[in-house]
A = this chain, B = another copy of it.
Amino acid sequence: MNSFGLKFRFTTFGESHGKAIGCVVDGVPAGLAIDEAFIQSELDRRRPGKNKFTTTRKESDSVEILSGVFEGKSTGTPIAMVIFNKDQKSRDYSNIKDIFRPGHADFTYFYKYGIRDYRGGGRSSARETAARVAAGAVAKLLLKEFGIEVAAGVVEVAGIEAKRLDFEYARISEIFALDPAVEEAQKAAILEAKEAHDSVGGAVLVRAKGVPVGLGEPIYYKLDSKLAEAMMSINAAKAVEIGLGIEVSRLRGSQNNDQMAKEGFLSNNAGGILGGISNGEDVVAKVWFKPTPSIFQKQRSVDIHGNEVEVELKGRHDPFVAARGAVVAEAMMALVLADMLLLNATSKLESLKKIYG
């Protein structure tokens, strides 16, 4: 249950306040150059504590590769990576040891597992996503060999929507904003909520360029359904759209269909996927995040004994979780595409013959 993917498959482990988090990436074809600095740079993008828009938790997020790489190349054996936790500070949580935090998973974890790990989010913490970013970096290295590039950015904050999508800009924006023109307003909304001890939600757009036709394995391993699964598995995600998503539900078929000409599709409402298979256009997904549940206001709750309480959280949290979510969404799309790339390799007898001669 802690693994994802079929052929390019990763497994993550670790809790926010345990010794370490990490992942095991299985199915990486042998001979791929594993650029450790690149993996670290991806982690650095997601790393908390860099600016006032994220939690103040300080984590260096130094990744260590334990296996699967020899002389800089993947060997075909599992690549294990570990990130030791530095700044756990579980004392922050002592005052809510027995109290369920509204909007949090501690309620459901407690009743599912019968265990109360009061030290913080535990396994449900967004800290786990660092392991995904490490795995995703390996996926990106593979995709790059085939000219596939994945990028993501924040498209909406507290209802303030980007009008244009500049993925290059998003890489340098503190909040991964796609549109410099609205970035300041978006930032202001975050800080305003933060000052009010509150939080805001938003949306992330993820796009892959260079995806060949044919990725996706219908009926139950379609590219869009696996992307939906991958995106919805990210902390705080509440909705996923493919291509124009909801918008096309209000169009007529004649308006929505992507017609074709010699030069290719004349539009890309579909987000690059037809029948669960990539059609060669950009693959596009949008992920919607709820406002961070950890707010510093009084809220009604109950404790593990069922008593009503008033709870006021302390601690360190992102006022806008979708920002760092953009890096995670990028990783998840890379991981899905890498898996699909491998799976599709045997779709035709002809392809198989290319390999076995």
Say if the beta carbon of A181 comes within 8 Å of chain B: no
Shortest Cβ gap from A17 to chain B (Å): 9
Asked whether A259 lies within 8 Å of B31 as measured between CB atoms, the reply is no
Asked whether A103 lies within 8 Å of B270 as measured between CB atoms, the reply is yes
- Of A20, A65, A193, A290, the most chain B CB neighbours within 10 A belong to A290
Asked whether B225 lies within 8 Å of A11 as measured between CB atoms, the reply is no
Q: Given contacts A300-B260, A348-B76, are A11 and B15 in contact (CB under 8 A)? A: no
A251 to B199, CA, bound (A): 9
Shortest Cβ gap from A351 to chain B (Å): 5
A105: B residues at CB distance < 8 A: 218, 274-277
Shortest Cβ gap from A338 to chain B (Å): 10
A214: B residues at CB distance < 8 A: 108, 111-112
Query: Of the candidates B13, B217, B255, B300, which one forms a contact with A261 in the assembled complex, judged by CB atoms under 8 Å apart?
Result: B300
Say if the beta carbon of A350 comes within 8 Å of chain B: yes
Q: What residue in chain B is nearest A68 (Cβ atoms)?
A: B13
A193: B residues at CB distance < 8 A: 252-253
- Of A79, A252, A288, the most chain B CB neighbours within 10 A belong to A252
Q: Given contacts A76-B347, A288-B249, are A66 and B201 in contact (CB under 8 A)? A: no
Q: What residue in chain B is nearest A243 (Cβ atoms)?
A: B238
Main secondary structure on chain A at its contact with chain B? mixed
Say if the beta carbon of A221 comes within 8 Å of chain B: yes
A278: B residues at CB distance < 8 A: 108
Query: Of the candidates B145, B224, B356, which one forms a contact with A349 in the assembled complex, judged by CB atoms under 8 Å apart?
Result: B145
Say if the beta carbon of A355 comes within 8 Å of chain B: yes
Interface residues on A, range: 35 or more
Asked whether B108 lies within 8 Å of A274 as measured between CB atoms, the reply is yes
A245: B residues at CB distance < 8 A: 238-239, 288
Asked whether B291 lies within 8 Å of A253 as measured between CB atoms, the reply is yes
Asked whether B112 lies within 8 Å of A258 as measured between CB atoms, the reply is no
A29: B residues at CB distance < 8 A: 346-349, 351-352
Q: Given contacts A20-B66, A274-B103, are A249 and B238 in contact (CB under 8 A)? A: yes
Shortest Cβ gap from A208 to chain B (Å): 15
Asked whether A1 lies within 8 Å of B290 as measured between CB atoms, the reply is no
Q: Given contacts A109-B277, A253-B292, A344-B112, are A261 and B31 in contact (CB under 8 A)? A: no
List A residues 110-158 near B (Cβ within 8 Å). 111-115, 117, 119, 122-124, 128, 142, 145-146, 156, 158
Query: Of the candidates B13, B30, B261, B355, which one forms a contact with A77 in the assembled complex, judged by CB atoms under 8 Å apart?
Result: B13
A6 to B3, CA, bound (A): 11
Asked whether B352 lies within 8 Å of A201 as measured between CB atoms, the reply is no
Q: What residue in chain B is nearest A356 (Cβ atoms)?
A: B146
Asked whether B354 lies within 8 Å of A341 as measured between CB atoms, the reply is no
Say if the beta carbon of A49 comes within 8 Å of chain B: no
A115: B residues at CB distance < 8 A: 30-31, 70, 73-76
Query: Of the candidates B77, B229, B248, which one forms a contact with A238 in the assembled complex, judged by CB atoms under 8 Å apart?
Result: B248
Listed from nearest, the 9 A-B pairs whose CB atoms lie closest are: A105-B275, A229-B229, A108-B277, A30-B113, A201-B249, A199-B253, A228-B232, A103-B257, A76-B113
A354: B residues at CB distance < 8 A: 354-355
Say if the beta carbon of A48 comes within 8 Å of chain B: no
A230: B residues at CB distance < 8 A: 225
